[in-house]
Structure 1
Amino acid sequence: MSAILSADDLNDFISPGVACIKPVETLPTIQEQPPSSETLEHEVILDGQQPTKATGPNGEAPPAQISLTDCLACSGCVTSAEAVLVSLQSHAEALSVLDAAPALQLRHDHDSGAGTGWKTAVSGLENPAAKLLVASVSPQTRASLAAACGGRVTEQQAGWMIAQLLMGESGLRAGGKHGNGFTWVVDTNTAREACLVLGSDEVLRAGGGGQGPSDRATPPILTSSCPGWVCYAEKTHPYVLPHLSRVKSPQALMGTLLKTTLSRLLGITPDRIWHLAVMPCFDKKLEASREELTDAVWGDAGTPGKGVRDVDCVITSKEILMLAASRGLDFFSLSRSAPPQQPAFPDPAIHRFLFPPTQRKQLRDEGTSGGNLHFILHDVQSKHPGSQIQMARGRNADVVDFAVINSSGEAVFKAARYYGFRNIQNLVRKLKPAKASRMPGGKPFGSARRPAGKSAGLDFSYVEVMACPGGCTNGGGQIKVDDQIVVDRKGFGEKPGPQEQKAWQAEVDEAYFSADEAGSRRVAAAEKGDGRSSALVAGISPMHIRDALAHWSEMTGIRLDKLVYTSYREVVSDVGSSQITDTERVVQLAGKIGGGW
């Protein structure tokens, strides 16, 4: 693969059919190689390839092996996460963990110290390979599988099928070496709602109870929940990084919540908890590998570095079908009814947060990527009685401008939505700082010809940015219309074309908005009963979210900013740089072993 890729290629639609060849980064000689490291033992093996041998047929040095660490640290080329992480995070890895040892089990011991009854404990710790298995599932994944089921299967019913697979007696527990299944399967929508409140506080400077990120984002603030967009910014447009929201993505926030609470409440180390995330996007595998999202940040060290991941493995919607097939199960024949009630979480308040009584309905005007922009607009509107939200379509359907207009007709808040890398290129050009002219009296030059030293050539306070055209329901890990399972179930006579894919995407979006409306009304009634209805913003109670976050911080003894915020950094390429010594090259390679982008 070329060391130079156009920005148009940096999306989830790159299929893993081309080998990624690491440029320049080769060790000096076989004799001078440092001792091998266990972190470099994995080589990316793509479909149809064979592992490289120790030496070539004529005794020459082997091709450079590419580890997960190398690909994330190297900015000489940027490949799709499909090609980089296909062999390191997959349904096969999940099966390997399930079969490694009997899973840790919960038990209830009498709490003689407190004298209040019973406490939750863990059995099976004597086996060092045993893990406590937990999983989180995104709503976009449920929508994709609901569409694949056909008929009138809702997103909620598809979620029940996933839960039956992961924790039900007729799912993964019915086979495998130890009959293991997941103890908890949670919905990332709960973490998403927390991210919406935190993101709005960040944009509107509400402070979230006085605990904000250590380095606040610079307006206009850009969403950072899309890892493909974050990777692109870190590697190619570092001047964008000050604008990225510091709030973690729902996947990352859920991982931190599960690892911190369970390790503290059950008295076990984070590495004994194995968290599987089911996502619509291959780039989420990249996000899970970030060293900023490990216990090294929220633990005793408090800084990015080597540590236990908050999310151990990410699989996509497609890989859920592969996971079932690997156990000889037909996913589509699984029960569509609610699985047995999940075990009580060790903390009642966290249990109520993770397992609300019913699912909140996704509103169509929230969009298909979580509703970041939608919530902020309504939060601003709630602070300006009588104001209205106006929308204006941009150059295409994936660019939309929004404004909150007060009763006097003035715009009090402006925002926008940019989806797809072609539109993102236009966005980053507008943010690029102008360069000062070297000529005496010369004018600054740049994409927007702004004064030297200034940036943010956008008349917006907030921009929702997603790499995939159409948003997260169209992620690269979603089931596509030309996948064999859809071709067979739809009965296509020939390979589906763009129009069939468009119609298929409409089915996925329809499933995404198919939550139980009656259940949503019950949630609203429950919130009204405890006095929170007047504080609802876009159907979410910020007060309830802030109370849950404050309890989380107090219960774990960790500052809230260390739990909910993250950081970013520029990745500097050494491709094409001046020659360095062999010793310097070895030192650079060794420094990349710890991970990071």
Structure 2
Amino acid sequence: MDKISGLLQKDISRRKFLEIMGKIGLTSLTMGVINYQPRFAWGSFKVVPVAADNPSIVWHESKCKRCGKCVGACTGQTVLGYYNSSGGKIICTNCGQCVLRCTNSALTERDDTAKVWQALNNHDLHVVVQTSPASRVSLGEEFGLKAGTVVEGKQVTALKQLGFAAVFDTGFAADLTVMEEATELVQRLTGKLNKPLPQFTSCSPGWVKFCEHFYPDLLPHMSTCKSPQQMLGAVIKSYYAQKKGIDPAKIFTVSVMPCTAKKFECQRPEMNDAGLLAGKPGIKDMDAALTTRELARMIKQKNINFTKLGDSLYDSIFGEKSGAGLIFGSSGGVTEAAVRTAFYLLTNTRPPDQLLNFTEVRGLTGIKEAVVNIPGFGNLKVAVCQGLGNARKVLELIRSGQGSWHFVEFMACPGGCVGGGGQPKTTDNARTARATGLYNLDAASSKRLSYENQEVQKIYQEFFGFPMSDKAHQLLHTDYIARGL
């Protein structure tokens, strides 16, 4: 231990420190000596440790000013400093909040634009892309537009000009997720599914990994639904491939996401269900995830005058979305969308107007609670958490038996996806403006309930049968890993 203490007084790089630790035979980090607490510094400065093989985040040491802003972000997420032994591995939830906080470009997302350009230039591949709800209210900021400006149609046009064969809306998959997740909730509530309450949401990969690391005992509460990104990847390489007569191995799937953790999610080994269905387990459901910032760079590389673009529509088959699918991008949106459909499933009646403007779960408050009275069922209790620090507070209550909720939404990032680690540099005002843009789209939608999405209805009629069917489980649901500590 004296050797370690001596090293901490020297001005050495993180990489060199880990290398020396390995040579002296230290394979796990010991609490009390070096546990990545805020007081710990690599030499005389503070920096979040980032593994060289991190699929989401890259540390550029030459640009690092050792300001410690990243440490503030990671400790606020209760990741840095909240583990004592991890087998010598650096724990990261891939949320990218450290990237947003860094003002010197010393921390960036792992750039996958070259991989996507290569796919677009490969004429043997059918390259398709999906865009998240959140990117349509933030991408414009990279081109001088105000936060919250809706650029949905311009984004589709730009993607077409970049060469994508088809542009799909992740909002469609959000509606698909609501159908599966609300059905799962109803089955838990009615005892048809023998799994505990509250049911946790599972669409934020940074949150999922956080739970896998720190609260693996609570994983039975996690919805088995894949995220909308992964659901859409799976149906593109199965249902869409069959419709178009394309070999799934020849389809390259790309997403535009507000989230650096989506890059990690794409690489999870269990995300290959479409490949398994096709008898080709090497096929991944999603091949690449681009952040909003990466897409902006690609548009600029092609010298596309984004603000002058006209509007284009998403491609049919996965282009329709309800207002409920769009508000997935804001904290509370998943809860609001799921409760609307759960009300319908439990009562067979349209939800009341209160649930179409569910203000109790909206906004930037870290932890929100609400109660919905459902005829024939009683009070449905929900909670909404944004940011992993708030998630930890709620999880501790649930672990101690004090949480009485039926449904809890967790988002890794403050504000939800609108404040994701892959978004333009964020302020509270920007997050609020982006969320407002999504809620305005919902309010203006002719269809505000996920079960009203006709393309979702069609995929159930032609392919899945019904929510939570065997085929739906095969392609749209997953299991989790108790990563432990």
- Residue in structure 1 matched with residue 26 of structure 2 by the alignment: none
Contact 2:207–2:411 (CA under 8 A) maintained in structure 1: yes
- Residue in structure 2 matched with residue 185 of structure 1 by the alignment: 167
SS in 1 for 2:424: coil
Instruction: Measure how far apart 1:338 and its partner are.
Output: 2.4
CA 1:294–1:43 in 2, change beyond 3 Å: closer, same or farther? Answer: closer
Instruction: Measure how far apart 1:561 and its partner are.
Output: 1.5
- Residue in structure 1 matched with residue 292 of structure 2 by the alignment: 317
- For 1:189 and 1:286, how far apart are their aligned partners in 2? 21
Contact 1:398–1:420 (CA under 8 A) maintained in structure 2: yes
- For 2:325 and 2:125, how far apart are their aligned partners in 1? 37
- Residue in structure 2 matched with residue 549 of structure 1 by the alignment: 460
- Residue in structure 2 matched with residue 426 of structure 1 by the alignment: 393
Contact 1:154–1:515 (CA under 8 A) maintained in structure 2: no
Q: Deviations over 1:239-290 (max 9, x none)?
A: 1211100011110111011111243344443221101100011011111111
Aligned runs of 1:51-450 on 2, under 5 Å? 76-79=89-92, 81=94, 82=96, 90-99=112-121, 101=122, 103=123, 130-149=124-143, 158-168=151-161, 172=162, 181-205=163-187, 217-295=195-273, 298-299=276-277, 307-333=282-308, 335-338=309-312, 342=315, 351=316, 353-356=317-320, 360-361=322-323, 368-369=330-331, 371-382=333-344, 383=346, 397-405=365-373, 411-432=378-399, 448=400
- For 2:197 and 2:428, how far apart are their aligned partners in 1? 35
Q: Deviations over 1:60-99 (max 9, x none)?
A: xxxxxxxxxxxxx988322353599968652222122223
Instruction: Tell me the TM-score normalized by structure 1.
Output: 0.58
CA 1:315–1:469 in 2, change beyond 3 Å: closer, same or farther? Answer: same
Q: Which amino acid aligns with 2:452?
A: S
Instruction: Measure how far apart 1:21 and its partner are.
Output: 4.5
- Aligned-pair Cα RMSD in Å: 4.3
CA 1:562–1:571 in 2, change beyond 3 Å: closer, same or farther? Answer: same
SS in 2 for 1:397: coil
- Residue in structure 2 matched with residue 472 of structure 1 by the alignment: 417
Q: Which amino acid aligns with 1:471?
A: G
Contact 1:246–1:567 (CA under 8 A) maintained in structure 2: yes
Contact 1:137–1:186 (CA under 8 A) maintained in structure 2: yes
SS in 2 for 1:310: coil
Contact 1:139–1:155 (CA under 8 A) maintained in structure 2: no
- Residue in structure 2 matched with residue 37 of structure 1 by the alignment: none
Instruction: Measure how far apart 1:318 and its partner are.
Output: 0.8
Instruction: Measure how far apart 1:365 and its partner are.
Output: 8.4
- For 1:188 and 1:300, how far apart are their aligned partners in 2? 23
- Residue in structure 2 matched with residue 569 of structure 1 by the alignment: 481
SS in 1 for 2:482: coil
Instruction: Measure how far apart 1:219 and its partner are.
Output: 1.4
- For 1:247 and 1:364, how far apart are their aligned partners in 2? 18
Instruction: Measure how far apart 1:217 and its partner are.
Output: 4.2
Instruction: Tell me the TM-score normalized by structure 2.
Output: 0.71
SS in 1 for 2:235: helix
- For 1:86 and 1:273, how far apart are their aligned partners in 2? 28
- For 2:234 and 2:228, how far apart are their aligned partners in 1? 10
> Which one has the bigger helix percentage?
2
- For 2:177 and 2:325, how far apart are their aligned partners in 1? 17
Contact 1:217–1:243 (CA under 8 A) maintained in structure 2: yes
- For 2:169 and 2:332, how far apart are their aligned partners in 1? 13
Identity across aligned pairs (percent)?
Answer: 23
- For 2:326 and 2:243, how far apart are their aligned partners in 1? 38
- Residue in structure 1 matched with residue 435 of structure 2 by the alignment: 509
Contact 1:550–1:560 (CA under 8 A) maintained in structure 2: no
Contact 2:175–2:451 (CA under 8 A) maintained in structure 1: yes
Contact 2:326–2:441 (CA under 8 A) maintained in structure 1: no
- For 2:325 and 2:455, how far apart are their aligned partners in 1? 20
Q: Which amino acid aligns with 2:50?
A: C
Structure of greater Rg: 1
Q: Which amino acid aligns with 2:166?
A: W
Q: Deviations over 1:513-539 (max 9, x none)?
A: 343866x33xx5xxxxxxxxxxxx746
CA 1:391–1:138 in 2, change beyond 3 Å: closer, same or farther? Answer: closer
